[in-house]
Amino acid sequence: MESLLNLKTGRLTPGQVDLILRTLPVDISFVDQSDTVVYYSEKKRIFTRVPAVIGRKVQNCHPAKSVGIVEKILKAFKSGEKETAEFWLETEGRFIHIRYFAVRDEAGKYMGCLEVSQDVTEIRQLTGQHRLLDWE
């Protein structure tokens, strides 16, 4: 039997956590407080990740022209100056929304950076209301 992780609002097995993270309609990457990539969600990703990024400094996972921006975000998160950074772009007819979040423990100590990317092309086209299930 798989052990349970005691979370703030419930308990899940590590297998359940993995399934949940792989099911979310977003790409997630986590960089720890020392700027090391320690996790990325496994699915068809918007921005490809390979297992070799695990354990690498995040600065080494970006094109040279982006490293300055990565450093600026991490510095602002570590200092407490900022909690989020947000970008969006259009590529190959898709609208991609990218958000970075400072992750802090209960005492407010910086523990890392969470990157969340989502293809919001279809979401941007929603209008009105859809309150009833209609699978037809």
Q: Is residue 130 part of a domain?
A: no
CATH number for the domain harbouring residue 30: 3.30.450.20
Residue ranges making up the domain that contains 56: 26-124
**Nearest residue to 118 (alpha-carbon basis) of 46, 66, 48:** 46
Q: Is residue 53 part of a domain?
A: yes
Compare 10 and 42 and report the one with higher pLDDT. 10
| Average pLDDT rounded to a whole number, residues 7-11 | 95
Count the domains in the chain: 1
Asked if residue 9 is part of any domain, the answer here is: no
The model's pLDDT over 73-112, given as tens digits with 9 standing for 90+, comes to 999 999 999 999 999 999 999 999 999 999 999 999 999 9
Average pLDDT, the chain: 93
Nearest C-alpha neighbor of 99 from the set 22, 27, 23: 27
Which one is predicted more confidently, 46 or 33? Answer: 33
Residue 106 lies in a domain: yes
Is 76 among the domain residues?
yes
- Asked if residue 96 is part of any domain, the answer here is yes
